[in-house]
Amino acid sequence: MEKGKRSKGLPTQVTMGKDPRKPRGKMSSYAYFVQTCRQEHKKKHPEASVNFSEFSKKCSERWKTMSSKEKGKFEDMAKGDKIRYEREMKNYIPPKGQKKKRFKDPNAPKRPPSAFFIFCADFRPKVKSEHPGLSIGDTAKKLGEMWNSSSAEEKKPYEKKAATLKEKYDKDITSYRTKGRVDTSSSAAADEDDEEEDEEEEEEDDDDDDE
């Protein structure tokens, strides 16, 4: 093989997900409000299941009718969390090469969406219909707040689906590395999901910029 020539079909590096050591993103005052509403509901109705979509809508309506004084408590909590986030980010050192751009083989399997991305795909249409004037960045921010205020039980189906997609990706990437291609029978069905993932990646980048 010629010096400096890249092996055909093999990416230089494959990275999965975000750095687990990266500080948790700061929560907004509204996210704290929804979290409090959820805790209150659980105390009053410990056995009742929650319709997340309906619950989120009621929280949004209630938030709009609250006075500045009533919102003050949650705004103080958000300010405190912002200070925590900024302090932790000052001490955070990103992994080497994290921002480095690398060659992306169009034939390589696309990394699977995270549980949050799958959640966004489900709730983005609802957020857009309820808030038609929101920009892409604000829509992503709203979805992030909804996700942060969700309980572990509500996140479970999305995490389960993400795990299933990751298993498929691991199988495809192994095949790709050994053969230089992916078996079409195992990858064709994922084409539509890949297109949606690209859109979600753009929104995640916007959301990260807001943090």
Domain that holds residue 154: 107-211
Specify whether the CB–CB gap between 149 and 34 falls below 8 A.
yes
**How many beta carbons lie within 10 A of that of residue 50, not counting itself?**
16
Residues 201 and 117 placed together within one structural domain of the fold: yes
Using one digit for the tens of pLDDT, what is the confidence trace for 138-174?
888 889 988 998 888 889 999 999 999 999 988 888 8
Using one digit for the tens of pLDDT, what is the confidence trace for 26-37?
889 999 999 898
Say whether pLDDT at 210 is over 50: no
Structural domain contains residue 8: no
Q: How many domains does the chain have?
A: 2
Assigned token pair, 110: 């696309």
Residues 86 and 143 placed together within one structural domain of the fold: no
Residues 157 and 200 placed together within one structural domain of the fold: yes
Q: Which of 43, 68, 94 is the last residue of a domain?
A: 94
Measured CA to CA, the distance from residue 198 to residue 153 in angstroms comes to 27
Residues 194 and 162 placed together within one structural domain of the fold: yes
Structural domain contains residue 101: no
CATH of residue 77's domain is 1.10.30.10
Structural domain contains residue 102: no
Using one digit for the tens of pLDDT, what is the confidence trace for 98-107?
554 555 677 7
Specify whether the CB–CB gap between 158 and 119 falls below 8 A.
yes
Specify whether the CB–CB gap between 23 and 92 falls below 8 A.
yes
pLDDT for 107 equals 78
SS3 content of the chain, % helix, strand, coil (to 5): 65, 0, 35
Alpha helices in 47-151 (DSSP H): 52-65, 68-90, 115-130, 136-148
Torsion sign, CA atoms 162, 164, 170, 175: negative
The pTM score is 0.44
Give the type of residue at 199: E
Structural domain contains residue 1: no
Q: Which of 94, 121, 147 is the last residue of a domain?
A: 94
Using one digit for the tens of pLDDT, what is the confidence trace for 78-135?
999 999 988 888 888 887 755 545 556 777 888 899 999 999 998 888 888 888 777 8
